[in-house]
Amino acid sequence: MRFLTAGESHGPQLTTIIEGVPAQLPLTADDINAELARRQGGYGRGRRMQIEKDQVQILSGVRHGFTTGAPITFVVENKDWKNWTKIMGAEPITEQEEQKMKRKLTRPRPGHADLNGAIKYGHRDMRNVLERSSARETTVRVACGALAKVLLKAVGIEVAGHVREIGGIKAKDIDYTSVLDLRNRSEASEVRCVDKEASEEMKKAIDQAKQDGDSIGGVVEVVVEGAPIGLGSHVHYDRKLDGKIAAGVMSINAFKGVEIGIGFEAARLPGSQVHDEIEWSEDKGYTRKTNRLGGFEGGMTNGMPIVVKGVMKPIPTLYKPLQSVDIDTKEPFAAGVERSDSCAVPAASVVCENVVAWEVANAVMETFGSDQLAVLQAAIKQHNDAAKEF
Ligand code: EPS
- pLDDT, averaged in runs of 10, over the chain (390 residues): 98 98 98 97 90 97 98 98 95 90 91 97 97 97 98 98 98 91 96 97 96 95 98 98 98 98 98 98 97 98 98 93 95 85 96 98 96 98 98
Residue 101's pLDDT is what?
86
Provide the pLDDT for residue 386: 98
The alpha carbon of 336 and the centre of ligand 1 are apart by a number of angstroms equal to 15
**Interval between CA 131 and ligand 1 midpoint (Å):** 9
The answer to whether 290 and 276 have CB atoms below 8 angstroms apart is yes
Distance 140 CA to ligand 1 centre (A): 14
Burial class (CB in 10 A: 0-12, 13-18, 19+), 192: buried
Q: Judge contact between 183 and 160, C-beta under 8 A.
A: yes
Ligand 1, residues at Cβ distance < 6 Å:
9, 46, 48, 52, 80, 134-136, 139, 317, 338-341
Vertex 75: Cα angle to 73 and 77 (nearest 5): 175
Of 173, 141, 178, which Cα lies nearest the Cα of 160? 178
Nearest residue (by CA) to ligand 1, atom 15, is: 136
Query: What per-residue confidence (pLDDT) applies to 251?
Result: 98
At residue 170, the pLDDT reads 98
Domain range list for the chain: 100-389
Q: Whose CA is nearest to atom 17 of ligand 1?
A: 136
The fold of the 100-389 domain, in CATH, is Chorismate synthase, AroC fold (3.60.150)
Q: Where are the beta strands (DSSP E) in the chain?
A: 2-6, 13-19, 56-60, 62-63, 66-67, 72-77, 158-166, 169-170, 218-225, 255-260, 278-281, 285-288, 296-297, 300-301, 306-312, 323-325, 332-334
Q: What is the pTM of this model?
A: 0.97
Burial track 276-290 (b if 16+ CB lie within 10 A, e otherwise): beeeeeeeebebbee
Question: Which residue, judged by its Cα, is nearest atom 4 of ligand 1?
Answer: 340
- Report the nearest-CA residue for atom 2 of ligand 1: 340
Q: Whose CA is nearest to atom 21 of ligand 1?
A: 134
